[in-house]
Amino acid sequence: SAVISQKPSRDICQRGTSLTIQCQVDSQVTMMFWYRQQPGQSLTLIATANQGSEATYESGFVIDKFPISRPNLTFSTLTVSNMSPEDSSIYLCSVHYLGTENTEAFFGQGTRLTVV
Amino acid sequence: GESVGLHLPTLSVQEGDNSIINCAYSNSASDYFIWYKQESGKGPQFIIDIRSNMDKRQGQRVTVLLNKTVKHLSLQIAATQPGDSAVYFCADYRDDKIIFGKGTRLHILP
């Protein structure tokens, strides 16, 4: 299992500004994942963050808008840049565990972002 | 693009009855299918998964069925309790990623 700490837990930001979200895992993991969950919707994968290489972004997400850092095997940051109200969402980081019995993803509690 | 989707956005079930939440998928290359439960204000919580070479798996009060012929996945919750109220997501695992479906909100009626 994994314990994931995310901060901030919530923030209200002015449009045009940027917010950096931090994610700390209690064990070393190769890949960390960032998701967005818009109000009343499912989780959408933004990108996969690997230590020592650039993040891999999903369709519809670009590095200029969502730069990601992965300085070591337990930590990652996601920045939401030049925010607009459409960026209001919950952002979650996740790690995956592939076991012999289960395939499981562990999530942080999320960062609830409101852009005004 | 999204490869899993859910038939119904909301399901209301009498307390004590069994709940069945359905999901359709389109990608036959998925390695695993997974069910998550998300309570309000929390991150998704793993419930159960099933490998693509299986057709049934049981857990505590939950059963997942996989029908590869019609690309259909279901989650059965036995003796539904008030604590089962949540949004349930199916997801699939492939290419080292977990991709989520749309979600079904489960309401428990007293």
Task: Give per-residue pLDDT as tens, A89-102.
Answer: 999 999 987 766 66
pLDDT for res B70: 92
The verdict on A66 touching B (C-beta cutoff 8 Å) is no
Cα–Cα nearest to A27, from A52, A2, A49: A2
Q: Nearest-CA distance from B97 to chain A in Å? A: 8
Can you give A72-116 as a three-state secondary structure string?
ECCEEEEEECCCCHHHCEEEEEEEEEECCCCEEEEECCCEEEEEC
Q: Higher pLDDT residue, A116 or B7? A: A116
| CB spacing of A96 vs B96 below 8 angstroms | yes
Q: Which residues of A touch B94 (CB under 8 A)?
A: none
Which of A102, A103, A108 has the CB atom closest to B43's CB atom?
A108
Rounded to a whole number of angstroms, the distance from the CA of A116 to the nearest CA of chain B is 21
Say if the Cβ atoms of B98 and A59 lie within 8 Å: no
Contacts of A95 in chain B (CB under 8 A): none
With an 8 Å Cβ cutoff, is A1 touching chain B?
Answer: no
Q: How far apart are CA B67 and CA A60, in angstroms?
A: 31
Which of A36, A43, A107 to mutate to test binding with chain B, by most B CBs within 10 Å of its CB? A43
The stretch A2-27 carries a mean pLDDT of: 96
Contact A105 B32 (CB under 8 A): no
Lowest mean pLDDT among A7-11, A80-84, B8-12: B8-12
CA distance A13 to chain B (A): 20
pLDDT of A86 over the 70 cut: yes
Nearest-CB residue to A45 (from B43, B49, B99): B99
Q: What residues in chain B have per-residue pLDDT under 70?
A: 1-8
Supply the pLDDT for residue A90: 96
Q: Are strands B104-109 and B10-14 parallel, antiparallel or unpaired?
A: parallel
What average pLDDT does the structure give for chain A? 93
What are the strands, taking DSSP E only, across chain B?
4-6, 10-14, 19-25, 32-38, 45-51, 56-58, 62-67, 72-77, 86-94, 97-100, 104-109
CA distance A18 to chain B (A): 23
What is the pLDDT, as a whole number, of residue B2?
A: 45
Closest CA to A4 of A25, A20, A27: A25
pLDDT at B81: 96
Q: What is the pLDDT of residue B82?
A: 96
User: What residues in A contact B32, CB-CB < 8 Å?
Assistant: 103
Which amino acid belongs to residue A66? F
C-alpha pair distances (Å), B44 with each of A79, B53, B105:
22, 25, 13
